[in-house]
A and B are shown apart, each in its own frame.
Chain A
Amino acid sequence: MKKILEVKNLSVESRESKKKILENISFEVDENSIYALVGPNGAGKSTLAYALMGAPRFRIIAGKIIFENKDITKTSIEKRAKMGIALAFQEPAYFENIRVKDFLKVGNKDISEKEIEKTLSLVGLDPKVFLNRKVNRQLSGGERKRIEFASIIAMKPKLMILDEPDSGLDIIIYREFYNILENIKRETKSSIILITHREEIGAICDKAGLLYKGKIIDEGDFRKVIREYCQIVNRKKICKGFKE
């Protein structure tokens, strides 16, 4: 299968603290696939997401990022966005006076109002209610996450990086979220890197990687990886009911 992303021996440090956070990371993402990145808190999952997006607060000190056969290791964040990489932040920023429809246009100025409405519907938000609402703190956490999600779908990216889109959502909503994710994969043909803690996600993932202390220590079938994850973090609750 054709690769959309190849990460080769990537090491990353924080620009501010100069602390090395990721070391020698290698993995590949196939086109039109979902790659789950699992790992305990502090493993470096979000840092990896930011580094792939090209966030300036992190510095790549070794290795390469290849996107669609092009070396983008030194490419700026905005150029990566224009090439087709998009990141949905785990804790999205609020924009006090910006309407949802204007926020969705930031990454795609040519998007029509009809397409915006469709995108909002796709993430389970009623366009009539949300189109003109402000992206401010009056939104609930779940609503803001859906808008974040919608804003990157609106970009029509080739690769979506979703940083824990299911965190902070209750059990009913996150099940719905996985359905949304499947819809998106089907409709947009985007590849997805999904950072998550939840084993339920296995049903829709094609492949997974386990990140632990800044390194990928296991990769392959989601079930195999999650089993390894359970052993590492000793979270019996997570593994309970898990069927091989």
Chain B
Amino acid sequence: MKIPEELLKSAKKYHYDTFLMQGVEIPHLCVEKSKILSSFCCPGLEISAKKYSQGVKIKIVVKKGVKIEKPVFLCFGVLGKNGKQIILPEITLEENSEAKILSFCTFPKARKVFHKMEAKIKLKKKTRLIYKEIHYHGDKFGTKIETDFKIFVGQESGFESKFVLDKGSVGKLKVNLRAQLEKESFCKVLNKVIGRGKKDEIEIYDKILLNGESSSSLNKLRGVMINGGRIFFKGETEVTKKAKNARGHIDCQEIVVGENSMVQSTPIIIVKNPEARVTHEASIGKINQKELETLMSRGLSEKEAIDFVIKGMIE
């Protein structure tokens, strides 16, 4: 896998196994702006990418009954100061298949970069997908990112997603996730974000539709805003009439540090089946003073203690 040096540098910040990333037989796709740098498939996996006028269309198919042992790496980025990238992936897991996708999006020098991803993910019956997306936006607050996921989780299937942006600046970030779950399927969605400046604005909207009997979901947010930026989180879980015994939970923990920082969290729970249950818990505000005092009594400065607590929460 030929990966530009800049991209590897950002990956190292996240302790990515860059050695593994560069392995010749690692299934992957690497795109810079609209240029397809490299790709590799393995038996049972199809990856195709096509450049079009606006960006790159991608198709990933995990074939019926196939379990992809190695993680599939997707690397997207704009490595210069300015640029635009539009990625349209369609990921399908055929019946009885399994895969793990690690998607790394990096804009290390961004001053004016726009990245948009519109992903459609379809999990057919008895499948399992772990999708982890990590972002690095450099330190100039110069990105505008819009990611949109439409996910269908078929019967007896499981989808786990993790979105992480906890290093460097954020810029403007919009994450939109819609997941529909069928009978006996489950979905775990975790977003971890840290904003570090007044130019950071984070909007996350996750909507999970529990549409099948005994389907279940967990929607977690761990967010920190430091030095004047804003986080808006909306977590919605809806149980439809036919989703008997469905279970859902929304768990939101956010820390606000510094003047003018702001966090807004809105849980929305709609239950249309009397045998279903959705719960919600949230903790938003300043760092627990008892934790800070304990750490400072062990010799940490206030800043070091705050970093320690944040690291603990985000990890």
Find chain B residues with CB under 8 A from A77 CB: 293, 296-297
List residues of A (50-75) whose CB comes within 8 Å of B's CBs.
Answer: 53, 55-57
Q: Which of chain A's residues have a CB closer than 8 A to the CB of B289?
A: 57
Q: Are A87 and B291 in contact (CB-based, < 8 A)? A: no
- Interface status of A93 (Cβ within 8 A of chain B): yes
A104 to B85, CA, bound (A): 46
Which residues of A have CB within 8 Å of B313? 96-97
Interchain residue pairs A-B with the least CB separation, the first 8? A107-B298, A81-B299, A93-B290, A97-B312, A106-B298, A93-B291, A93-B294, A77-B296
- 1/0 contact string of A76-95 vs chain B (CB within 8 Å): 01100110001101001111
The residue that B298 contacts in the complex, of A55, A94, A96, A151, with Cβ under 8 A, is A151
Please measure, in the bound complex, the distance between the C-alpha atom of A56 and the C-alpha atom of B289, giving whole angstroms.
10
For B134, list chain A residues within 8 Å (CB): none
B266 contacts the other chain (Cβ, under 8 Å)? Answer: no
Contacts of A53 in B (CB 8 A): 297
Q: Give Cα A22 to B302, complex, Å.
A: 26
Tell yes or no: A217 within 8 A of B by CB.
no
Whether A192 is near chain B, meaning CB under 8 Å from some CB there, is no
A216 at the interface (CB under 8 A from B): no
Rounded to whole angstroms, the CA-CA distance of A106 and B293 in the bound complex is 13
A55 to B290, CA, bound (A): 10
Q: How large is the interface on B (under 10, 10 to 19, 20 to 34, 35 or more residues)?
A: 10 to 19
CB contacts (< 8 Å) of B312 on chain A: these are 95-98
**Number of cross-chain contacts by CB at 8 Å:** 55
A sample of 19 cross-chain residue pairs with beta-carbon separation below 8 angstroms, ordered by A number, consists of A55-B297, A56-B293, A77-B296, A78-B301, A78-B302, A81-B296, A81-B297, A81-B299, A82-B299, A86-B298, A93-B290, A93-B291, A93-B293, A95-B309, A97-B312, A98-B308, A106-B299, A106-B308, A155-B299
Is B288 engaged at the interface, CB distance under 8 Å to the other chain? yes
Interface residues of chain A, those whose CB is within 8 Å of chain B, are 53, 55-57, 77-78, 81-82, 86-87, 89, 92-98, 106-107, 151-152, 155
The smallest beta-carbon distance between A16 and chain B, in angstroms, is 11
Judged by a CB distance under 8 angstroms, whether B300 is at the interface is yes
Is the pair B294, A78 in contact by a Cβ cutoff of 8 Å? no
Cα A81 to Cα B289 with chains together (Å): 17
A98 to B288, CA, bound (A): 15
Which of A56, A92, A106 counts the most B-chain CB atoms under 10 A from its CB? A106
In the complex, the answer to whether A86 meets B297 with C-beta atoms within 8 Å is: yes
A residues in contact with B308, CB < 8 Å: 98, 106
* B17 proximity list for chain A (CB < 8 A): none
Closest to B298 in A: A107
- A106-B295 contact in complex given A93-B288, A93-B290, C-beta closer than 8 Å: yes
Q: Residue on A with the closest CB to B294?
A: A93
Any A CB within 8 A of the CB of B315:
yes
Name the residue of chain B whose CB is nearest to the CB of A85: B297
